[in-house]
């Protein structure tokens, strides 16, 4: 979606007079190479060797020093998971800086560490925690569509690390920058790279338009059978989306008492089961706190938060979501950083993050993962209605100097729900181009 301002700043005249031009981001398309090579893999931690051989099997050339590359580098994977003393962080600079200097457009820096929460030695915890500051700062320095992200391992099992590194190297993470993802020791084995969701049944709420419609499209592209859910008033648009993705439509208001039961019944009766639920339906009803009325507060809390709690009770009950299933919630950076005029929305989206943390622990023994995306400024009908000046600030104030696309949110969700992401749970990934708002 482009507006007049975007058209003007990307015009040939604007380019000639030096108006900064956001880089066209490399986005995932099935069949494209995982990332441009060569990839520098270094650092001597416990995952580096496995990652290098997995990349080689995927057809991506690897090198172990920037000098070996003899030219530009597509990505840098630095495994510092074994660093136990702050002095060892020199490796980050010594190995990483020459490679970052040689990084191609839309390049990637992925650092692997050990989750400090799993360590007790003070020097080790200090060292591993330091990685977060370095990676987030590097994300703010990189230009030309390049990103920097951190994967924190909670053990020795490689599957989760590999899944997260693959996500961050690929075009699926085009608008994900400066993020930290923790992976546990769950194993997942080999996954079909082109159709990772083949045979899965996925429900997406709020699917008639915007981000929800794109989530339905991307999950279907990756092989899932999609049940598209939205309010009856959006019935025509909902039917169009359901037809396009060759799925089915279910008209319901997520705030109704029987919404969870009806979702389970529809998915099992029409498609034989339920594997994935994406709670995307959401509304805003902005007002300054002192003027916030009952209706605005309640409707936002009901649609964005209370309905999710209620539906999950039915979805996780007998005959509902399959073991090994996936739940993803759509939060917002307003739930992390707060936003003027959005005490109701900020509360609901922060609540969603709390829900994800608590529920992920509760259902771990069934192999079910629960995660959230927190979108920043995404180009949708909702953001197109924001007044010009506020919109431009929201759009440009991030490391990638542009707004994200609904597809960027959908691709992160599509990664969370892959069988290969079994080790990723209780996580909140911001899809915001490393917005200057919040952490």
Catalytic residues: 345
Q: Residue 315 CB, nearest distance to ligand NAD (Å)?
A: 15
Spatial separation of the C-alpha atoms in residues 80 and 127, rounded to whole Å: 10
Q: How far is the CB of 256 from ligand NAD (least distance, A)?
A: 8
| Cβ closest to ligand NAD, residue 65 vs residue 390 | 390
Q: What letters, b where the CB count within 10 A reaches 16 and e where it falls short, cover 102-135?
A: bbbebbbbbbbbbbbeebeeeebbebbebbbebb
Distance from C-alpha of 78 to C-alpha of 66, rounded to nearest angstrom: 12
Cross-sheet strand order for the sheet of 147-153: 62-63, 39-42, 73-79, 103-114, 147-153, 180-183
Q: Which is nearer to ligand NAD, 303 or 328 (CB)?
A: 303
Of 195 and 262, which has the nearer Cβ to ligand NAD?
Answer: 262
CA 343 to chain CA centroid, nearest Å: 24
The string of DSSP letters for 65-125 reads SHHHH-S-EEEEEEE-TT--SGGGGHHHHHHHHHHHHTEEEEEEEEEEEE-GGG---HHHH
CB closer to ligand NAD, 95 vs 208: 208
DSSP secondary structure string for all residues of 153-195: ESSS-HHHHHHHHHHHHSGGGTT--S-EEEE-S-------SS-
Q: Is 239 exposed, middle or buried (0-12, 13-18, 19+ CB in 10 A)?
A: middle
In what order do the strands lie in the sheet containing 225-230? 248-251, 225-230, 201-205, 276-279, 326-330, 369-375, 428-431
The three-class DSSP label of residue 293 is coil
Q: Give the phi and the psi of residue 315 in degrees, each rounded to 5.
A: -65, -35
Please report how close the Cβ of residue 395 comes to ligand NAD at its closest, in angstroms: 10
First-last CA distance in the chain: 27
**CA-angle at 259, arms to 272 and 225, nearest 5°:** 30
Hey, what are 339's tokens? 């936003």
- Looking at beta carbons only, is 99 or 337 nearer to ligand NAD? 337
- The span from the CA of 92 to the CA of 159, in Å, is 23
Which CB, 330 or 422, lies closer to ligand NAD? 330
Please state the closest distance from residue 212 (CB atom) to ligand NAD, in A. 5
Q: Choose between 186 and 343: whose C-beta lies nearer to ligand NAD.
A: 343
Nearer to ligand NAD among residue 83 and residue 215 (C-beta): 215
CB of 300: closest distance to ligand NAD in angstroms?
9
We find the least distance from the C-beta atom of residue 193 to ligand NAD, in angstroms, to be 28
Q: If DSSP codes are grouped into helix, strand and coil, which group holds residue 213? A: helix
Q: Under the rule (CB under 6 A), what is the footprint of ligand NAD?
A: 205-206, 208-212, 230-231, 234, 253-255, 280-283, 303, 330, 332, 375, 377-378, 380-383
Give the nearest distance from C-beta 58 to ligand NAD in angstroms: 32
Strand partners, 153: 114, 183
At its nearest, how many Å lie between ligand NAD and the CB of residue 214?
A: 8
């Amino acid at each position: 979606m482009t507006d007049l301002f975007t058209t003007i700043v990307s015009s040939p005249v604007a380019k000639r007079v030096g108006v900064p031009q956001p880089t066209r981001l490399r986005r995932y398309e099935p069949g494209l190479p995982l990332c441009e090579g060569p990839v520098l893999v270094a650092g001597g931690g416990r995952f580096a060797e496995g990652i290098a051989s997995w990349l080689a099997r995927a057809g991506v050339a690897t090198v172990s020093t920037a000098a070996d590359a003899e030219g530009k580098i597509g990505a840098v994977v630095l495994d510092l998971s074994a660093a136990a003393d702050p002095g060892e962080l020199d490796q980050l600079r010594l190995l990483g800086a020459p490679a970052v200097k040689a990084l191609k457009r839309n390049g990637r820096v992925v650092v692997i560490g050990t989750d400090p929460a799993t360590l007790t030695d003070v020097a080790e915890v200090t060292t591993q925690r330091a990685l977060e500051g370095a990676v987030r700062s590097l994300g703010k320095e990189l230009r030309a569509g390049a990103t920097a992200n951190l994967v924190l391992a909670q053990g020795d099992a490689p599957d989760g690390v590999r899944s997260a590194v693959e996500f961050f190297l690929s075009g699926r993470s085009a608008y994900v920058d400066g993020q930290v993802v923790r992976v546990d020791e769950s194993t997942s084995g080999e996954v079909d790279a082109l159709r990772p969701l083949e045979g899965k049944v996925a429900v997406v709420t709020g699917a008639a338009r915007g981000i929800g419609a794109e989530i339905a499209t991307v999950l279907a592209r990756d092989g899932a059978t999609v049940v598209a859910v939205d309010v009856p008033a959006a019935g025509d648009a909902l039917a169009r989306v359901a037809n396009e993705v060759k799925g089915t439509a279910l008209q319901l208001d997520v705030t109704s008492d029987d919404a969870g039961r009806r979702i389970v019944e529809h998915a099992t009766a029409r498609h034989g089961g339920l594997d994935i639920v994406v709670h995307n339906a959401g509304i805003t009803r902005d007002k300054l706190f002192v003027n916030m009325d009952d209706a605005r507060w309640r409707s936002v809390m009901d649609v964005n938060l209370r309905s999710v709690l209620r539906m999950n009770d039915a979805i996780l009950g007998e005959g509902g979501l399959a073991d090994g299933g996936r739940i993803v919630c759509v939060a917002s950076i307003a739930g992390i950083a707060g936003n003027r005029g959005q005490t109701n929305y900020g509360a609901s989206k922060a609540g969603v993050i709390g829900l994800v943390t608590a529920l992920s622990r509760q259902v771990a023994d069934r192999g079910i993962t629960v995660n959230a995306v927190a979108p920043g400024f995404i180009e949708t009908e909702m953001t197109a209605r924001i007044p010009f000046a506020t919109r431009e600030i929201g759009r440009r104030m991030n490391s990638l100097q542009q707004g994200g696309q609904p597809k960027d949110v959908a691709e992160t969700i599509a990664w969370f729900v892959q069988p290969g992401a079994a080790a990723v749970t209780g996580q909140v990934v911001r899809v915001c181009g490393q917005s200057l708002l919040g952490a």
